[in-house]
Amino acid sequence: MSLTWISRAQRLSSLPPYVFARLDELKARAREQGIDLIDLGMGNPDGTAPQPVIDAAIAALAKAEYHGYPPFEGTANFRKAITNWYQRSYRVELDPNNEALPLLGSKEGLAHLALAYVDPGDIVLVPSPSYPAHFRGPMIAGGTIYPLIVKPENDWLIDLTAIPEAIAQKAKILYFNYPNNPTTATAPREFFEEVVAFARHYQILLVHDLCYAELAFDGYQPTSLLEIPGAKELSVEFHTLSKTYSMAGWRVGFVVGNSDIIQGLRTLKTNLDYGIFSVIQTAAETALGLPEIYIKQVQDRYRQRRDLLIQGLAELGWDIPKSKATMYLWIPTPVGVGSTDFALNLLQTTGIVVTPGNAFGEGGEGYIRISLIAECDRLLEALNRMKQAKISYSS
């Protein structure tokens, strides 16, 4: 029965289609047809969480006190593990009592931060392309998105000088993300210093997504926004355990930074959820304390996949520079072929699933994102299928 007399809220009708949901539909149809899919679409890590993390969760499950409602602000032990990780990784000192807040994954926190701080009509600066939660959260809140088109000739960095003065004067929040999803771009420390100076001048709240902090290669070490002097006065930074620790389904992440900004998000969340299952927080605490050798193993795994795909794609006409971080490759489509058309054709002719670049905003048109989430033998199979289908950059 169709309830035609019930209309959805305007905030939903204003959202563009969520491409990953559409891809799920297409993948389901392909599987029904017996197609052997090689799914390199979502950034959904393969494999299980580290065994010590699983063991910690199993042990915690036996404790009755962990089966009740968790504290709204997260367990004290997990918050302390978060701030210890920041001190160890970036030499950033944070107060676990009011400068760290566990989240049901960073996506949840990024979107809810907008609900806590964006009023209808507020201008929010968001790079394009960018992770969809960076612009969808503010859109749901009624904000006006001002896209900052990033370009390859500027190494996919935001050009702050290109923001009109009138827009900068009115802007309330700037979302950004380096190492970047989807472009894999990295930003030098000088860029972070420029962003902080820009935000201080125009009194803009900074929201940095450091999702790929540990997925860095070839000696590269990402920068935390909170390393920059004065940044904590006007910013927060998000992180997730989904990528590095293969815990995407566990739904656990956190935000750190300015205590007043975090308190606003916490106030909203107390009205929406009861926080993260304490068992998962215990497991996440264990993950953040794993020895460096584990991180190196993860980095080596993604680096090997990166190198294999880049070499194979080179044989098909693509010249892809080696990414310094993230679990993706950002690849131009052949001239005259749109992102969606290329991705759909690839799925239909080879069974390979990738994400069209325009899913990340208008600035992503003309590209696709490949996730390095399959073992090397499957990646080789994907390359062979592309060769057989005569798919190349010059086609």
Same domain for 201 and 327, yes or no, is no
Same domain for 307 and 229, yes or no, is no
Is 63 among the domain residues? no
Residues 287-313: tens digit of each pLDDT: 999 999 999 999 999 999 999 999 999
In the numeric block, which tokens belong to residue 106?
Answer: 């960073």
Same domain for 132 and 276, yes or no, is yes
In whole angstroms, what is the distance from residue 241 CA to residue 245 CA? Answer: 6
Structurally, the chain folds into a number of domains equal to: 2
At 8, is the pLDDT very low, low, confident or very high (cuts 50, 70, 90)?
confident
Neighbouring-strand partners of residue 236? 207, 257
pLDDT at 6 over 60: yes
Same domain for 150 and 229, yes or no, is yes
386: amino acid identity, one letter: M
In whole angstroms, what is the distance from residue 169 CA to residue 186 CA? Answer: 27
Same domain for 374 and 355, yes or no, is yes
Is 183 among the domain residues? yes
Q: Which of 288, 312, 347 is the last residue of a domain?
A: 288
pLDDT at 20 over 90: no
Torsion of CA 277, 251, 103, 225, to 10 degrees: 150
What's the mean pLDDT in 81-100?
A: 96
Residues 336-392: tens digit of each pLDDT: 899 999 998 999 899 999 999 999 999 999 999 999 999 999 999 999 999 999 998
Is 54 among the domain residues? no
**Of residues 348 and 27, which shows the higher confidence score?**
348
Same domain for 227 and 168, yes or no, is yes
In the numeric block, which tokens belong to residue 329?
Answer: 């490759």
Q: Which of 236, 254, 288 is the last residue of a domain?
A: 288
pLDDT of residue 192: 98
In whole angstroms, what is the distance from residue 294 CA to residue 303 CA? Answer: 14
Helix (H) or strand (E) holding 228: none
pLDDT at 3 over 90: no
Any residues with CB less than 8 A from the CB of 242 and at least 6 apart, and which? 43, 45, 105, 106, 211, 248, 250, 252, 253
Q: Read off the CATH number of the domain in which 342 is found.
A: 3.90.1150.10
Same domain for 100 and 113, yes or no, is yes
Is 361 among the domain residues? yes
Burial of 308 (0-12, 13-18, 19+ CB in 10 A): middle
Is 395 among the domain residues? no
Task: Give me the percent of the chain exceeding a pLDDT of 90.
Answer: 85
Is 62 among the domain residues? no
In the numeric block, which tokens belong to residue 62?
Answer: 């036996």
Same domain for 110 and 228, yes or no, is yes
Q: Read off the CATH number of the domain in which 226 is found.
A: 3.40.640.10
117: amino acid identity, one letter: Y
Alpha-carbon distances of 244 from 148, 175, 223, 290, 346, rounded to whole Å: 28, 22, 16, 11, 28
Is 218 among the domain residues? yes
Residue 368 phi, psi dihedral angles, 5° rounding: -130, 155
Confirm if 305 and 379 have CB atoms less than 8 A apart: yes
Same domain for 151 and 114, yes or no, is yes
pLDDT of residue 4: 66
- Cβ-count burial 96-133 (b if 16+ within 10 Å, e if not): beebbbbbbbbbbbbbbbbbbbbeeebbbbbbbbbbbb
Same domain for 268 and 329, yes or no, is no
Same domain for 144 and 15, yes or no, is no
Any residues with CB less than 8 A from the CB of 171 and at least 6 apart, and which? 123, 124, 125, 146, 163, 202, 204
In whole angstroms, what is the distance from residue 242 CA to residue 289 CA? Answer: 15
Same domain for 161 and 100, yes or no, is yes
Q: Which of 288, 319, 334 is the last residue of a domain?
A: 288
Burial of 224 (0-12, 13-18, 19+ CB in 10 A): buried
- Three-state DSSP class for 12? helix
In the numeric block, which tokens belong to residue 307?
Answer: 């190198």
Is 59 among the domain residues? no
pLDDT at 86 over 70: yes
Domain range for residue 82?
68-288
